[in-house]
A and B are shown apart, each in its own frame.
Chain A
């Protein structure tokens, strides 16, 4: 992990009418860092995610990607800058093959305009071939190689989670936002997912993670930001977090004691 922050969130606030969903939230994510966002239901995690991805615009505060402000930008432009995401509920493109689904993720890297395509220019074919090659590698990486040409609606829930990740990776992201990637996975699938996320971060991609499964998250995250009622109540390594009294109070409760032994010395 390097230290230059790739994502910088400063004073982020989101109000829905009288409700303050996120209030004065600040944190950084470095290149190749795995940062987890945790908190009880309604703490503002998903709102924060949607603010960073551009689905919502903040009421106040700033979000910068590599020094460039992205708050208020349209979603596709933020994705175009290399911020790719997965969804809390699987969102495959129905009626398209697994390979085509993954290829959609590579869209931001393709340069061919409609005129290039209509004119049948040679580079269009090369670009497409490269994207297909990369999509094929990513399908191998997430272990879905048996389903390359399958209709995505036939995938199991766990396979759908993996498709989400492969599709996001196809855009060669600089930042990947994972919204509860382990939700609904078996223990074996979860441990494979951990290895995958470590690999993604090791390749220099910043990983921002929202997750409820502490057994999955604590050993994985380099740093954890804890939210409660839209405010940051703690930030630190997994070890620091499980020992933090405020966190225990707000969220972890009994789980903190059980996990203390298992927390990594990272």
Chain B
């Protein structure tokens, strides 16, 4: 029954890829990448309570990693993809190990530094990273003789979201997810119950950052262009807004928040111009003040008998 629901959702989301065209396709694809990033960030921030600003930097490592390894260095695509993802995992681990040792905002500071460092590296990377202009002119190589182009690449993005959601739901509903919530509520008591707080934090950070890298690698072939500003700090705040407005700690909330806030500018910008950012700010403040459970919390209130 549940498997059927998954299958139906994937087919429906894929079918949309074939129905859309032109600009709408581009919007849809980027929305899917945002959803994937919001889902993993929701686990890190919403479920596990870790405050980190490196989600887009790791997406950048995934994107630049796969393009540099396959296009610039000419490695086979499969090797490049695995290499880029492994690099994300390694870097995340290196950031997490020292910064989860200390309490409080240490991870926030370390990830902020990492995000800035990443931008410096790609901006100053010369020929290898393309500097401020980024890298363009590559395209997704054929894998096993199959070229995933047009709507079929959108299907890849749908599968990316499905995989991310599937893995994170599994994790959230397991003893590991429970341990993460306990650490968020009270790390000292969680430790007294036998939970290795640091290890759990390092695993959570490494895993969600690696998922961000995977989403970034997928993003690299949406427009076949990557450049530094996409992976800057502006977007991380957007991600934070999405989760707060949608409903912190809830995958459904992350999806609702990502869809809504990603699409909102397309509606709002023609009317209010860049002032839509102010509207977002107001929306976040209102959500925190009056609806801390986010939009998904409103849905719960309408259907009190169900709790996902």
Residue numbers of A with Cβ under 8 A of B are: 53, 55, 74-76, 79-80, 84-85, 87, 91, 93-96, 100, 103-105, 107-108, 110, 112, 114, 117-118, 120, 124, 127-128, 131, 167, 171
Contact = CB atoms under 8 A, between A and B. Distances in A.
B221 interface: no
A74 B191 contact: yes
Contacts of B167: 118
Contact of A103 (B175, B197, B203): B175
Nearest to B200: A114
A108 B194 CA distance: 5
B175 A76 contact: no
Query: Could you say which interface size class chain B belongs to?
Result: 20 to 34
A230 B181 CA distance: 37
B179 A104 contact: yes
A93 B186 contact: yes
B190 interface: yes
B192 A79 contact: yes
B207 interface: yes
B194 A79 contact: yes
Contacts of B170: 117-118, 120
Given A110-B175, A117-B176, A118-B167, A95 B185 contact: yes
A123 B126 CA distance: 51
Given A79-B193, A93-B185, A108-B194, A100 B174 contact: no
Please indicate which of the listed interface residues B174, B175, B197, B203 has the most CB atoms of chain A within 10 Å of its own CB.
B175
Given A93-B182, A96-B181, A76 B194 contact: yes
Contact of A76 (B171, B178, B191, B203): B191
B48 to A, nearest CB: 12
A96 B207 contact: no
A127 B185 CA distance: 24
Contacts of B188: 55, 75
A108 B191 contact: no
A84 B197 CA distance: 16
A130 to B, nearest CB: 11
Contacts of A53: 192
B11 to A, nearest CB: 22
Chain B interface SS verdict (over half) = helix
B283 to A, nearest CB: 23
A107 B174 contact: no
Chain A interface SS verdict (over half) = helix
A105 B182 CA distance: 10
Please indicate which of the listed interface residues B174, B181, B194, B196 has the most CB atoms of chain A within 10 Å of its own CB.
B194
A124 B174 contact: yes
A171 B185 contact: no
Please indicate which of the listed interface residues A76, A84, A120 has the most CB atoms of chain B within 10 Å of its own CB.
A76
B109 interface: no
B174 A117 contact: yes
Nearest to B179: A107
B174 A103 contact: no
B297 to A, nearest CB: 13
A131 B186 CA distance: 21
Given A118-B170, A118-B171, A75 B191 contact: yes
Contacts of B185: 93-96
A253 to B, nearest CB: 34
B195 interface: yes
A107 B171 contact: no
A104 B178 contact: yes
Contacts of A107: 175, 178-179, 193-195
B293 to A, nearest CB: 11
Nearest to A75: B191
12 contacts: A79-B191, A93-B185, A94-B185, A96-B181, A96-B185, A108-B193, A108-B194, A114-B171, A117-B176, A118-B171, A131-B175, A171-B194
Given A55-B192, A87-B192, A100-B181, 13 more contacts: A74-B191, A75-B192, A76-B196, A79-B191, A79-B193, A95-B185, A100-B178, A104-B182, A104-B193, A108-B194, A114-B171, A128-B175, A171-B194
A105 B193 contact: yes
B214 to A, nearest CB: 13
Contacts of A124: 174
A222 to B, nearest CB: 25
Given A91-B189, A107-B193, A114 B176 contact: yes
A136 to B, nearest CB: 15
A142 to B, nearest CB: 16
A87 B167 CA distance: 35
Contact of B194 (A80, A87, A112, A114): A80
Contacts of A87: 189, 192
B13 to A, nearest CB: 22
Contacts of A103: 175, 178
